[in-house]
Structure 1
Amino acid sequence: MGASDSIQQGRSTFLEEMTETSHILHHSTSRSLVIIDELGRGTSTHDGVAIAYAALQNLLHHKKCLVLFVTHYPKVADITKEFPVSAGVYHVSYLTSHKTPSFSVPKSSQDVIYLYKLVPGIAESSFGFKVAQLAQIPLSCIARATEMGVWLEEI
């Protein structure tokens, strides 16, 4: 958690993250508590998903340790098919101002309240556009991002 780069030594944040992951995979035991947050960022989505899935699979299958694995990759949740007894999928519960996510209601215009309660399953929606708005990204940029998001979801 909290990897940062060492650019002056030619080590990107992603390389630092991979080095830390390697250390975890080599040194954890069945008595370890492993907490990994957003493994696989910093490379292509496909590589990131593959690395995240493989690392989690290794920890569950070979190390058999207790793991808290935080990810935005929905495909990693498929690990529950391979480990139905020892793996679960949860997300932080939330309320929105619109009951059903819709392309006609931009996500950036929805009010979101995080309830700080873990509930079973994958989150039905994400709120990156809302976070961009809270960070005061220009509204024209958020509007364009919203259009692109709709287009990407359609394809």
Structure 2
Amino acid sequence: MQTKGNGPSLRVVTTAMMAFVGVAAFTALSVEDLAGLTADERANLSAGLIARYVIAMAIGGALAGWLFASLFGRRGVLGLVLALLGGLFATMIAGLFGSAFAMLPDLVANGFSMGDLIGIGFGLAVLPLGIASQLFLAAGWLALVIIAQIWARRIRMVRREA
């Protein structure tokens, strides 16, 4: 499933782009939250926990990009709508899987509880709601999804010509 000239496949592009979207959204929302903390609260914050969440959001975004790759690169307005839906689904799944992956070490160490399930489930909505609440983040998310759509469209066109 390689493109002409040994370029990346459609699935590779969407996987990478959605991993980047997951990390970018989480990082942007975290930076805003960290700015509201006092110096003592920041000192008590675990850098390892933040790193674990960043890695987990990348894994979740990559998995979601791989799952929803077929929604990207289609022609016309319908293709753009499908890409936006794919981006939304990928963002939601990135949050869900990201929360699950990030909480996994704690679940293994402490056991599973209903509160953990709620926290993981909340991951489904936290990135889309956080993005929707801020115009700058929404514009950045939209730009990244459109870039993924254009790149995927180009791959589909080259593959069709080959």
Common fold by TM > 0.5 = no
Q: Which has the higher helix share?
A: 2
TM-score by length of 1: 0.29
Q: 1 or 2 for the larger relative contact order (CA 8 Å, sep ≥6)?
A: 2
TM-score by length of 2: 0.28
